[in-house]
Each structure stands twice: as C-alpha cells, then as structure tokens.
Structure 1
Amino acid sequence: MPNTEKPHARHSIKDLERRTARRVGLVFLSLVLFVTSAAGFVYTDLQSQVKRFDISDYLDGSATRTDAIGDSYDGHALNILVLGTDTRSGANNVDGSDGSEDTSVARSDTAMIMHVSADRSRVEVVSIPRDLLVDIPSCKTYNGTESAPQPETMFNSAFATGAGTGTDSKALGIGAACAINTVEKTTGVNIDEFMIVDFHGLKTMIDALGGVNLYVSEEIDDPDYTQLYLPVGCQHLNGTDGLKYARARHGYGNGSDIGRIAHQQNLMAAMIRTAQSKNILSDANQLYSFARTALGSLTTSEKIGNLTNLQGLASSIQSIGMDRITFLTVPNEPARWDANRVVATDDAKPIWKALREDTPVPTGSVSGKADGSTASPAPNSSDAAAGSSSTDAAEQTDAPIVADKPSGAPAPQAPAPAAPSTDPAAQCK
C-alpha cells in the first residue's frame, strides 16, 4: 500500500517514545486485535478506516451483556470473537477464484475467542475449529429472514447463515451475530465484542511488518492448492506466503483443519514478536502506516471499533507479558458418524468454565505462547500432526523463505537444527 506521509507534531513523537515501555500490551492489540493505541494524532483519518456495525438487533438476547465502564472496559473481563473471512472477491481474490458462487460471498475461515482477564494479567486465545459440530440456533439473516435451527452443523456455517449472499459490512456483522449466538449457546461464554479481518488485510499487515520469522516443524508441500513449499526449520514469510501458510491444510499432516489452526496461532505469535523487535511504536510515520493498514482491514462491533475505546483497552493491558498471552484449541476428536468433522470432548468444559469465571485455563490445554515458547499439545486432539505443528512458534532474523519447490529439483535443505534437547524456538533467534 502507499506509504502515506502525515505531518506529526513534535510532542506526538515524544508521547510515542514514552509509550514504548508499554510495548507488549500495545503490540498485542496492534496485531491480535489489529489496532494500535498510539494513533490519536491522526484520529479522524484512522477512525474512518474501520467499518463498524451495530449487531444488537441480531443477538438472541439470552446472554447478560457487559455494560463496560469507561473507554478501557475497566474492571471487566472481555471476550472478543475474532473472525477471519475467506471471501475471494475484489482485493481478496488471492487464489484466482474471484467470481465463483462459493467464494465471492462472505464466509468464515477462522474463529478465535480472545479472553482478556479483568485484572489485565493474562490473555487466552481459544481457536474454534471450523469443522467443529455444534448446534446453531435460529438466526436473523442478511436476507431479512430467520433461519431454522441447525443441529450438529459445522461451526463456520453459523457465519454463513447470518451473512447469506452479502459481502458488505452489514452482511459481515450479521454473520458475526449468528456466530456469537452459536458460541454463547455452545459454551455459555458471553461474547462482548467482535472483530473480522479478511485475506487482503492479513497479507498487507504482514508486509507492513516487513515479513515475519517463524519455525516450521513439519514440511509443507502443497502444489495443488496454495502452491506453498516450506522445509522444516526457520523461515521468513512475506505477506503472500504468510497468508498461504495460514490457509494451507494440504501437503502436510492429514489435511484436517486442526493442523491449520496451529499454523494460524504460530503466525499470530510471530507477528507480535516481529512488531516487538522493530521500532513501529516509537516511529510516528511507521506507526501511522501500519495502523492505517491494520484498521482498514477491520469490520468490528460498534463499541470496540471506536479508537478511543481501543486506546483505553490497549493502555489497560500494558503490563501483560508475552508469556501471559497463551494459545489453545478446543479439545476435540473425530465425530463417530463423520471422520471429516470433529466434536468437542469433555476436556473443553474446564476451558469454558475458566472463561466464564475469569480464571486461568487449564495449563494442559495450552499449546503455545506469544513469546515463542511451546507446551504439550491439547488433550484429545483429532490430528496427531497438530501436536507437532503447535511447536511452530519461533522467530528468525535472516532466514530466506522457500515458497515453491522447483520442478524436478531436490527439496532445499532446511537450516541445521539445534541439539535435540533444545526447544525449536532457540534455533531461530
């Protein structure tokens, strides 16, 4: 995107420099929530980038909504549903399939519940498999109708049910509302806000960071779908290949969605670490450029899409360390009647209880942390490869990406691994 320059008052740059001590908290919101709290000097311009939609008329009303106090949601735990959409129309036509009936409308590709504790001591990001079978309640739709309940249906169908054939921010918001109703019915966890980011937005954010560095624990060779080839080891990904890495579900493991979730969590953590290692938050021009890119990719609920509220929330989590931002996936197993779908196991219940009561999730369910450290795979995962993929969390400074394996050529050699007793993250500093 163009590197638009804006004049900056001297005191604004000083304010930014003073805020660099808050780097972890601000970087987290910049990348996980795709926002920044230090962009007030171009407030009007940046605010205009965010697409907001009030979904209150589309929620089922069964949940007790949090009436957050102040612009930082002060004193309240916060649950945000973060959704990635896979429409391939316009700028999102990342694979040449623009115009087909299945890809031109809004569809949900990724779903995460982001829990911010009331005391601002931790953040837990819980990925929901798109193939998880749930009971989708009746939802109001973009087409002005009301859908019938859908028992034992893939979770990502909830968003599609609400959004219908629409692609605008209204369709995205109504799709998010149906997904929220489904999450709340399934888990008992109240969702306070939502954020949606699309393919093009993720790609441009990675490029705005200058690419990201991460560790690939299992070779990816996917010539038929994403055309991505990555050997085991430390890799540097630009926006195009970062998006392919997040989307790939073929060419490794067993082709299930669970392995892809581990990649998405790994990419998210790598983006956080990359921004932390750069001077984005202390360089006014670079911060503005990144913030404009990030905010332009968002569709959000009404309240959290307000930059004043975002700034307050970011400031309130400034003391959270990267080791206190944890990732996990809903514990699952293959459905007995359909091996291509999964169902939640009983190990999911303590996770939902922890989010409802604002207590730490069980440590055994955590697969990784934003600082690049790893943990044991979540119990009862339906994909053995996902356990190894969950260790894809490390950063690397000067390792080239190998995006495509040359035809007829031997596979490139991965960088030499560290000693077996060393965590994979250690070899990619």
Structure 2
Amino acid sequence: MILIVPTYPTKHARHSAKDLTRHVARKVLLACFAVVLFLVSGAGFAYHDLMSQLNRIDVNDMLGSDRPTRAEPATDNYEGQAVNILILGSDTRSGANNVDNSEGSEDVAVARSDTAMVLHMSADRSRIDVVSIPRDTLVSIPECTTADGQTEPAMEDTQFNAAFANGAGTGSDAAAVGAGVACTIKTVEALTQVRIDEWMVVDFNGLSTMVNALGGVPVYVSEDIDDADYTGLVLEAGCHTMDGTMALQYSRVRHGVGDGSDISRIARQQNLMSAMLRTAQSKNLLTNAGELYSFLRSALAALTVSETLSLSTLTGLAQSVQAIGMENVNFITMPNEPASWDANRVVPSAQAEAVWTALREDTPVPEESVTVSADGSTPAATDPAATDPAATAQEAPTTQEQAPATVPSAAATTSDPAAQCR
C-alpha cells in the first residue's frame, strides 16, 4: 500500500493570493488616506493662509450699549437672517496708499473716511441694497472714544465723515482705524436706527489691488472726464477697461466732470462697484479653485474688518451674492436735499426715512430711490432715457468697439449703457 501524504498546493496558493490581496488593499487604503490627509492639510493651510490676510479688529467695547437691537440674536454665519454691513473707503495716503505723493500733508496722512455705504442683505437672500451716505451730509455725531482712550464730545450739524476723524485722531495705524470705525458706526446707527452687524474698510491700495486681481473691469463712462491736474484722469465717454490705477482715479475724481459734488462722485463709485460685481460673476470664480484662491488672497489682504467677520462668514455671504443675481443688487444714494443754512452741504430728505425703514424691517427699498442695479439697469422713474429715446441715442456709445450705434428699443430704454461694456 502506498501512503500518499497530501501537500495542499492549491490551498496554499489561495491563501497566498488572499494575503496578497489584503496587502495590496492595505497599500491602496494607506495611499488614499495619504491623499485625503494631503488634501485636508492643504485646505487647512489654504484656510489659515487666507485668514492671515485679513486684518480683524474688535471695536465692540467702543460702541457702548445704546444701540438699535436686532430682531433675534445673530448666528455665526447669519444663515436665514438679515445682515447689515458698513463698508468704508479710507482716503489716508499713508504707506502704499500714497497714490498722489501727498503723504507728508497732515490732512491726508492720517486715517480718514472717504466713502460710506450700508450693505443690507435680506434674510431670504433675495436681494441686496447698498445705501451710500454722502460724506457732506450734516449729522449729529455722538460722543466717541479716540484711539488713545480720550473722549471726543458729541457734535451737532457736523459733516458726516468727521465721525471717522473724531475717532481716529491723528493716527493711521490699526488702533486709529478701529476707533474711527467705531465712531462712524455710532453715527450711522444714530442717523438711521439700523443696527450695524459687521464692517469693513477698504483703502486706496486695496481698491486698486482688487480691480487688478479681477484682471481689469469694463466700465461705462457716461460723460467726458478731464482732470489732468488732480487725479490725472482724462477719458472720453464710452466703455473703458480699467486697471487698478484707472479705477482708483475714476472713483476719486471730482474735477473736470459733472458739477464736482460728492453726490455725482458717489454715482461713479456705484457704477464702478456694479461693474466689479458683474466682472466677478462673469469670471465664475467659484468654479475655478486657482483663480478663486488668487483673487481671495489679494482681496482679503486689502480689507480691515470686524473681529467676527470670519472667512467662512465672508464665503457664505459671497455665495449668497452669486445666488441672488445682479438684477437684485441695488445701489441707492441716501435721499437728500441741500441744507438751508449751508448750500455746500446736504441733509437727509423726507424720502430717506423710507429707505432706512426698509432696511430696519427687511423690506425692499422704494424703487424710486434706486440709483442703479448691479446688472446695469436703472429704474424708469429715474432714467431720463425712459421717457426720451432721443436722449438715449445721444448718450449711448457710438464707436464699434464701445457698442452698436443703434437706438435702443422702447423696451430697452431703462437699460444702462454700462451693461453693454463686457
């Protein structure tokens, strides 16, 4: 009898294959884990890098307790809640903002406010209203704390932009900016009874940087500008693609165009901002991670913001803007009239209260108060071309590069020529 000893070669092979499969699976899992770890770490580094660009300042202790109240406590990202953001443009010439070689002048080297807008985003994220407050508005400025801890007494019938100066004093550093912002917030809230939830300051260099980060902005200039002596801006009416330098000149110009008033300058600033929004939307930055990161890094470095305005909050608000649509982003100049005792200054008119009430109650502002929407359209009630097609034909660009030399149809007479600049 022959004794046969089994060797089980097949079973051993199956066991080796299983070991090999497990070994490979572990390697694949480790590789995937490494990739995920890399991506998560990269996102983390990117987040912290972007956050490091933001200059955040806490001014809450300088605002006091005598403030308008919110209907409900604010959440971290204001999800499902209305939010009011005060946007200030600083005209200090300190450091990189010394755009006209005037840094040595005491009037411009310190922190000063040049532009003030209250941005209201509705709770249902269906609209955004941006209300500009003319710097020449005569207002009551509450008692404010200065950057060095001193008390600046309350003032009556004082030019609005003096509020920022009262807080900032003679400084231009972060403490001066924070104190200037706090005094401006108190003044805005006293004027409007609208609670300011967040704030941001953009200086000269910041505006220029953001326009350049967008790759330039197509802007429709409604009338010839000849300001060679001050800003250096000389432009013919029509479409112009503005880089950061030209955009800054356009936003500041008051000579050689219009009546030289702050009110007419506000209209140009609103025109530039709406063009910037259209440009950002047309680039669809949210779908291009590289372009988005590059733009955010440049844009965030240009801002000084409230302590609670985090990157996630800014991202959420930006996504809301994208979803709302340009036609539902409205720019308004606070309704005003000349002050009876000072022809060079203005005071809020009776219609101004309707605008502030709309912001307080989170309802649409009166249409007749809207200057322009971000899509370039203007309300028929305030557009002369809506009732005078000949005026539209006269004001519209005529060269092939600017726009077709055709008279718009009656349906298009409420459309601003700015919408033609792409």
Secondary structure (helix, strand or coil) at the match of 1:218 reads coil
> 2:24 — aligned with what?
none
> 1:354 — aligned with what?
358
1:56 is matched with which residue: 47, 57, 60?
60
Change (3 A) 1:144 1:322: same
TM-score, normalization by structure 2: 0.81
Once the two structures are superposed, residues 32-61 of structure 1 have per-residue CA deviations (whole angstroms, 9 ceiling, x without a partner) of xxxxxxx87611111011111111111032
Per-residue deviation, 1:234: 1.1
* RMSD of aligned residue pairs (Cα, Å): 2.7
> 1:338 — aligned with what?
342
1:135 is matched with which residue: 133, 140, 143?
140
Identical aligned residues as a percent: 58
Within a 5 Å distance, the mapping from 1:95-106 to structure 2 comes to 95-106=100-111
Contact 1:365 1:377 (C-alpha < 8 Å) held by counterparts: no
Matches of 2:212 and 2:297, distance apart in 1: 13
What residue ranges of structure 2 are gaps of 5+ in the alignment? 1-33, 384-390
Matches of 2:252 and 2:380, distance apart in 1: 23
Per-residue deviation, 1:283: 2.4
Per-residue deviation, 1:224: 1.5
Secondary structure (helix, strand or coil) at the match of 1:72 reads coil
What residue ranges of structure 1 are gaps of 5+ in the alignment? 1-8, 16-38, 380-387, 400-413
**Paired residues, number:** 368
- My pick for the range that moved more, 150-159 or 419-428, is 419-428
Contact 1:112 1:128 (C-alpha < 8 Å) held by counterparts: yes
Once the two structures are superposed, residues 40-95 of structure 1 have per-residue CA deviations (whole angstroms, 9 ceiling, x without a partner) of 76111110111111111110321245465543212321111000000001100111
Within a 5 Å distance, the mapping from 1:171-190 to structure 2 comes to 171-190=176-195
> 1:284 — aligned with what?
289
Within a 5 Å distance, the mapping from 1:21-32 to structure 2 comes to none
> 1:262 — aligned with what?
267
Contact 1:52 1:301 (C-alpha < 8 Å) held by counterparts: yes
TM-score, normalization by structure 1: 0.80
> 1:419 — aligned with what?
407
Per-residue deviation, 1:282: 2.4
Matches of 2:59 and 2:346, distance apart in 1: 29
> 1:227 — aligned with what?
232
Higher relative contact order (CA 8 A, sep 6+): 1
Matches of 1:131 and 1:248, distance apart in 2: 16
Contact 2:219 2:271 (C-alpha < 8 Å) held by counterparts: yes
Once the two structures are superposed, residues 11-30 of structure 1 have per-residue CA deviations (whole angstroms, 9 ceiling, x without a partner) of 99x99xxxxxxxxxxxxxxx
Once the two structures are superposed, residues 338-369 of structure 1 have per-residue CA deviations (whole angstroms, 9 ceiling, x without a partner) of 22111111010100111111111001100111
Change (3 A) 1:175 1:378: farther
Matches of 1:393 and 1:293, distance apart in 2: 34
Change (3 A) 1:206 1:317: closer
Letter in 2 for 1:191: I
Secondary structure (helix, strand or coil) at the match of 1:274 reads helix
Secondary structure (helix, strand or coil) at the match of 2:354 reads helix
> 1:253 — aligned with what?
258
Larger Rg: 2
Per-residue deviation, 1:393: 12
Q: Does residue 297 of structure 1 match 2:273?
A: no
Contact 1:208 1:290 (C-alpha < 8 Å) held by counterparts: yes
Within a 5 Å distance, the mapping from 1:1-80 to structure 2 comes to 42-66=46-70, 68-80=73-85
Letter in 1 for 2:348: A
> 1:363 — aligned with what?
367
Secondary structure (helix, strand or coil) at the match of 1:114 reads strand
Contact 1:123 1:324 (C-alpha < 8 Å) held by counterparts: yes
Matches of 2:150 and 2:382, distance apart in 1: 39
Change (3 A) 1:377 1:218: farther
